[in-house]
Structure formats: structure tokens, C-alpha cells
Amino acid sequence: MWSFFVLLSCIANVLGDESRVVNTAQGPVRGRLIPGGGVYGFYNIPYASAPTGADRYKAPRPPPTWLTTFEAEDRKIMCPQRFASGTMNIQEDCLVVNVFVPDTEETNLPVHVYIHGGAYQFGFGLQEKFTELVRGKKMISVSFNYRLGVHGFLCLGTEAAPGNAGLKDMVALLRWVNTNIASFGGNPDDVTLSSCSAGSGSLDFLTVSSLTNGLFKKVIQESGTVIGAVGAQVDPIQNARNYAAVLNFDNVNDLNSLEEFYKNVSIQQLISRTDAIINNEGVTSRFGPCVERDNGQEIFLSDAPMNILSQGNYTKVPRMYGFTNMDGSVRFSVFDTWKEMMNEKFSDFLPSELNFDSEEIKEQVAERVKQFYFGDSPVGDHNFLSYIYYNTDVLFAYPMLKTLSTRVGALEDSIYLFEYSFVDENSPVYPLTDEVGARHCSQERIVSDGDLTGATEEYKRMQEIMREYWMNFIANGYPSSSDPSLPTWRPANAQRSPHMSLGRDIVLKESSPIPERAALWDDIFEEYFRGPIIDTDPVAPIPGAASSLAISKITFLVLFLSFYFIWHLN
């Protein structure tokens, strides 16, 4: 069989360079030169199989195998999600990988793995591409799909829905890369992960899971971490109950019934109300990563991530680490609704990771925060910029600074911190203001492929700088530039200093970003942070389910005693 695969490769080389056949552990795959040349694209290769039906929330299964050559063409496969283009091919078995390889005979190239964002609810592997970096013949780039929303992050702590299916997909992908990337010319021992937003949160969770040891060496982490907007679910069972109620299921207080509902609901109905999940005034994602119970299956996350970080019980790798100065722009669309809600009860918008002994204390903290950002004025059009800064801080900026300090305290010494604020004359002015700022994930978009028609020379220059930082980090483990006029980028300490200010001017500042705003949240988190609820009892009742579970236990006891006496009588 192996000689057959080798023969196919030889034939491909004889026929020309328009296509290339690579032998994977599953069988041969054929990629083709992408438009513009210089890069072979291998699209939609299955890296695992997503279980379906009643097993759809479980860990992924091994991928299929084949004997004939798999045509790795873009079939536009996307995991189930509500907000999808009609041109996409939505399917449950959606776990596919895309590999972009430079047209070179070189081997042992560094490998870049991109994790797409999208609030854990939407997106797909090809929403950003990095083929222009690959064309430089210095790396291989990989992207992939993973299960999303309730499909990927339902966490009941049961055998059927243990939690973190989407993250376990990512582990399967990294194992696939480790096994197969050498066949494409990559170095399996030199893998760098990159992402922004929920993808960056996923990336951060991957760094604290024991399942990923040895599967990557470096990370580029942007606007997302294990706490904040894309952090762990605080109360995953309550989230599951709430969403089931949105889908018109009544018996949400019984865990067994809840599990049966989710096992039997159609995938179309499951994703039909994603709008009820995405915008969460309590900051933390309603369906995202969770701390799992031990029910005999492989566990991705067994403890609260901040506990793991503070104990230093994880693999430490170099990381580029930063956010944009106006990441809170993700909350543009809900401003008109939320400004009224924030004025009515601002405490609803505090991070749900905070825990207060009384409603009175919670309201006092809420008033303190509201006064800090908005002063004596109600939230409104006149202080829209304060609304953006508030959301920047609670969703992304402060969570990243908080986890950075914890990581450095655990002896991580290669975290390269930045705040990205670059704008130019083409940058749009924010609504209701005269201000411009770097929008959510713009630090990733400037590095990825993009049409430069109409781009300013200033933008093109910044793109060159950012891409060089990325490429040198991927190659060497630290961001550097060949431009002698740019400062040397040093790792941050526990005081979050220094940090690189990436704006129209590039300056290494001997200080922390947003120091006054971070100091406010340092004080609040020190006193009130709790993180996710950890429930290790596999039969623990969910709130409101005590009576039905008690009946189940009595029934079990009666049956057990009946069988016991029957066995002894025989």
C-alpha cells in the first residue's frame, strides 16, 4: 500500500506543479495552487468525525480513511450555526482542516495554526487566511472548523454531554497536525497557535489543558483569555436550562429530562435561537468552555483555569499577547437597547464571574463602576465612548491583564504584551463621537490576507511591521523587527510592564496599559472574583431538581434491594 502512495506522488510530480499529492495517515490528498500562485491549498480534509444524533455532544471520533486520492477542494463546509451564508455547506460532521503550503521543496518549516473566533457561536476555518505569509516560503498555515454554540459547548456533566466538545475538536486537530504535518513539509515540533476573540479564549484554554502537552510551542493571543467575555461558563447547567426554556422545553429542572431534550432536539432547532446567546449583559459567554465533572471520559478541563494558572500546573510557552484600544466595539449593535437597561440596573452588566454576599454590596460596586466610567450622567449618546471603554475593559483588556499577572506569577517569562491602537485616514469615525480607534481584532486583520485597494501608505507600512513581528515570533519565539528605528520588544513583568504601543507611533512603554482602569478592576476582582462553579459530584442535582432526583434514587434503591433478595433466594 505504501508503495502505491509513493507512486501517486511521483506521478503528480511528473504531471506538473498545478497540483500536489501528499500522503496522510488517512490516505493520499491532492491540493492545488491557489490563485496568485506560490501556495498549494489543501481544503476540507477530515481531521476527525463529529458524532451525531444522541452522541452529538461527545468527544470527536477518528477521521475516515481512503485508498483513492482525496480531492482536497473547498467544499465550503461549515459547522451548524444560525448566521450562515446560503452558499455554505452546513453539516453536523463538519470537522475539516485546511492546509496552505508554500511552493518549495524545503521541509521542516514552522507551522502556524489559526483558530477562528466568533463568540463560540459562529465562524469557520477560512474566515481569515494567511496565504500571503505562506507565499514567503517561511511557514505552513493551518485552519479548521470546530463545533460551535450549544452543539460544541453544552456542558451538563453527564455521559452524553460532558462539555467542551468544541475544545476537544481542537485537541483532535492538534493531534492530526502532529501526526501529518511533516508530510506537507512542516515541523510537528514547531507549531504556533494564533487567534483573536473567542478563538483566543480557546487558545488560552488549550494552554492550561493537560491534553495538549507537546502539541504546540508558541501562541499569538489577541483579545481573549480564560476569563472575561470568552472565559469559562460560570454556571453551565443554568445556561442549559435557560436555553432549553427559550426553545420551549418546560421540564428544565430535571437533569435527566434536560439531557434527553438536548439529545433528541433537531440540529436545526438547536441553533435556531443563537441570538439569545450572543449578547450577554453578564459579560461571560453563555455557551463556551466549562469545568468538567469526572464521569470516566477524557477530561479537557478539570479545574477552574485561574486555579490552574495560579498553581503553575501547565506547560509554559512564549506568547505574543495583546488587545486593541477599542475592543469594546463588539457591543455597537446593542447600544440603543443596553443604554436604557444599564441606567435601570447597571449591576446586571457586571462580570458574572464576580460573587457578592448580598444584593446591597453588588449595587454598591455597580454604582462605583458606573461613576468611574460615566460620572453622574446616565449612559447615553453623549458618553458613547465611555460605553466602548467600559466594554473594552470588562470583556477583553482587563481579563488579559489579570491573567498575564497570574501567568508571570507562575514564572512565565516570555509574554510580549501590546496594545494595538493603529488608525489612519481611512479608519471610520465612531458613531456619536469624533473619535477613531482600533476595532475588535483589527490587530489580526492587518496581518491576514486582504485587499489593499485604496489602502494608505501608512497602513501598508504598519502591515509590513506587524507581519514581520508575527513571522519572527513564529520562527524564533520572540517578536523582532529588522528596522533599527523600532524599539526592542522585551517581555512583560507581573506589573504588566513594559508593553509595546502599536499605534501610528510604535513605542515600548515602561508602564502597564490602561493603568487607572486596570487598578479599579484589580481592586474589585481581588475581593469578589469567584470564577466558574465547580461541581465534581456526577449525580449532584441541579437547582430545582431535588424532588425528581430523590424519587429516582428511591426507585433505584427499591430495585436494588429487590434484585438483591431475588439473587440470594436463588
Ranking 231-245, 294-308, 337-351, 527-541 by mean pLDDT, the lowest is 527-541
The catalytic residue positions are 197
Indicate the DSSP class of residue 61.
B
What lies within 8 Å, CB to CB, of 25 at 6+ separation is 179, 180
For residue range 381-410, what is the model confidence (pLDDT) as tens digits? Answer: 999 999 999 999 999 999 999 999 999 999
The pLDDT assigned to 288 comes to 95
Question: Is 50 exceeded by the pLDDT of residue 556?
Answer: no
- Kind and range of the H or E element at 286? none
Contact 29, 42 (CB under 8 A): yes
Contact 206, 167 (CB under 8 A): yes
What lies within 8 Å, CB to CB, of 32 at 6+ separation is 18, 19, 20, 40, 41, 73
Domain ranges, ordered by start, for the chain: 2-178+187-528, 539-570
pLDDT tier at 431 (50, 70, 90 boundaries)?
confident
pLDDT cut 70: percent of the chain above it: 89
Neighbours of 10 (CB within 10 A): 11
| CA diameter of the chain | 90
Question: Is 60 exceeded by the pLDDT of residue 536?
Answer: no
As a whole number, mean pLDDT of residues 314-319 equals 96
The more confident residue out of 147 and 568 is: 147
As a whole number, mean pLDDT of residues 309-335 equals 95
Sign of CA dihedral 6, 8, 9, 15: positive
The pLDDT assigned to 531 comes to 86
pLDDT tier at 296 (50, 70, 90 boundaries)?
confident
The pLDDT assigned to 564 comes to 32
The pLDDT assigned to 279 comes to 62
As a whole number, mean pLDDT of residues 301-329 equals 96
Q: Give CA torsion, residues 410, 416, 421, 423, to 10 deg.
A: -160
As a whole number, mean pLDDT of residues 421-447 equals 94
Question: Is 80 exceeded by the pLDDT of residue 557?
Answer: no
- The residue behind cell 434503591 is 557
Nearest Cα to Cα of residue 397 among 370, 415, 419: 419
Query: What's the predicted TM-score (pTM) here?
Result: 0.90
User: In whole angstroms, what is the distance from residue 246 CA to residue 252 CA?
Assistant: 11
Question: Is 90 exceeded by the pLDDT of residue 150?
Answer: yes
For residue range 252-288, what is the model confidence (pLDDT) as tens digits? Answer: 999 999 999 999 999 999 999 987 776 666 666 689 9
pLDDT tier at 86 (50, 70, 90 boundaries)?
confident
Ranking 171-175, 499-503, 560-564 by mean pLDDT, the lowest is 560-564
Compute the residue count for the chain: 570
User: In whole angstroms, what is the distance from residue 408 CA to residue 414 CA?
Assistant: 9
Cell of 116: 477562528
As a whole number, mean pLDDT of residues 427-432 equals 90
Whether domain 2-178+187-528 has CATH 3.20.20.370: the reply is: no
Contact 180, 25 (CB under 8 A): yes
User: In whole angstroms, what is the distance from residue 113 CA to residue 98 CA?
Assistant: 10
Question: Is 80 exceeded by the pLDDT of residue 193?
Answer: yes
Beta-bridge mates of residue 24: 27
